[in-house]
Amino acid sequence: MSKFFLIALLSLTWASNSLAEDTYLGKLSTNPYGTDSTSNPYGTYGSEYSSESINNQYGQYGSAYSNESATNPYATDAPKLYDSEGNYRGKLSTNPYDPDSTSNPYGRYGSKYSPDSINNEYGAGSPYKADSPNNPYGEGIRIYADDDG
pTM for the model: 0.84
Q: What is the count of structural domains for the chain?
A: 1
Is the residue at 146 inside a domain?
yes
Edge-to-edge order in the sheet of strand 23-28: 23-28, 141-145, 80-82, 88-91
Q: What is the pLDDT of residues 121-139, one digit of tens each?
A: 999 999 999 999 999 999 9
In order, the DSSP letters of the chain are: -HHHHHHHHHHHHHHHHHHHTSEEEEEE-S-TT-TTBTT-TTSTTT-SS-TT-TT-TTSTTT-SS-TT-SS-TT-SSPPEEE-TT--EEEE----TTSTTBTT-TTSTTT-TT-TT-TT-TTTTT-TTSTT-TT-TTS--EEEEE-TT-
User: Residue 56 sits in which domain range?
Assistant: 23-149
Q: What is the pLDDT of residues 59-74, one digit of tens each?
A: 999 999 999 999 999 9
Is the residue at 36 inside a domain?
yes
Is the residue at 147 inside a domain?
yes
Is the residue at 12 inside a domain?
no
Is the residue at 6 inside a domain?
no
Is the residue at 16 inside a domain?
no
Is the residue at 4 inside a domain?
no
Is the residue at 64 inside a domain?
yes
